[in-house]
Each structure stands twice: as C-alpha cells, then as structure tokens.
Amino acid sequence: MPQVTYTDHLGGQCTVEANVGDSVMETAVRNGVPGIVAECGGSLSCATCHVFVEPADFAGLPPMEDMEDEMLYGAAVDREETSRLSCQVRLADGAHLHVTTPATQV
C-alpha cells in the first residue's frame, strides 16, 4: 500500500496510507490533511494543490505535462525546483512519497 508523508510549512508531519492509483492530492483531501485545498477536485484548473516534493522522490516521478507546468506559474506561493500539482502525482504500489505543503494555496 502506498504512503504519503505530508509536512506543513511549520514542520508538522503526518503520514497517510493511500490507494494504488490515487493522487497525492486525493489522499490528502479525503483524509483531511490540511495545506492542500484542491478546489477543482483534480481537473487541473486551480493550482491550489501545490506541493514541494522531496528531491529524492521527485526524480522518480513521471514528468509533468505542459498544462501542469503552466498552472504552477500561478500558484499562490512561488514554485521551486521540485514543485508539482499534487493532483497530477499518482501513487504506485509500494511508493512512499514525501511532500511539503506551502504556507498558503490561495
């Protein structure tokens, strides 16, 4: 079962078990993890599920598509090297991803 460890901007952490194929965003929202808003429910329309992926995990993710890349330029907190929209990051069996949420999403 995949797992995601979410760290908020103040350093608070929680680890959640996820379903294979679910996104990092869905896993957070369904379990009430704060720091990810996801207004559009994962349809790549709002950029309110921005996360910074731990560099070691980032390299293993499939590359992002243009739409995600462009949406990230409008995120409430400026993007960094390992920024992703968490609705586009799907979890494979056995994966354990580590992400940090920005101070705000809106």
For another protein, the binding residues (CB under 8 A) are: 22, 26, 29-32, 34, 37, 39-41, 43-47, 67, 70-71, 73-76, 106
Provide the residue type at 45 as one letter: S
Q: Is 59 helix (H, G, I), strand (E, B) or coil?
A: coil
| Cβ-based neighbours of 94, under 8 Å, separated by 6 or more | 2
Query: Least Å distance between CB 100 and another protein?
Result: 19
Q: Is 24 helix (H, G, I), strand (E, B) or coil?
A: helix
Residue 99, phi then psi, degrees to nearest 5: -130, 150
Minimum distance from residue 47 beta carbon to another protein (Å): 6
Of 31, 29, 77, the residue nearest 51 (C-alpha)? 77
Closer residue to another protein (CB): 9 or 73:
73
**With respect to another protein, which residue has the nearer C-beta, 8 or 54?**
8
Residue closer to another protein (CB basis): 29 or 89: 29
Min separation Cβ 59 and another protein, Å: 25
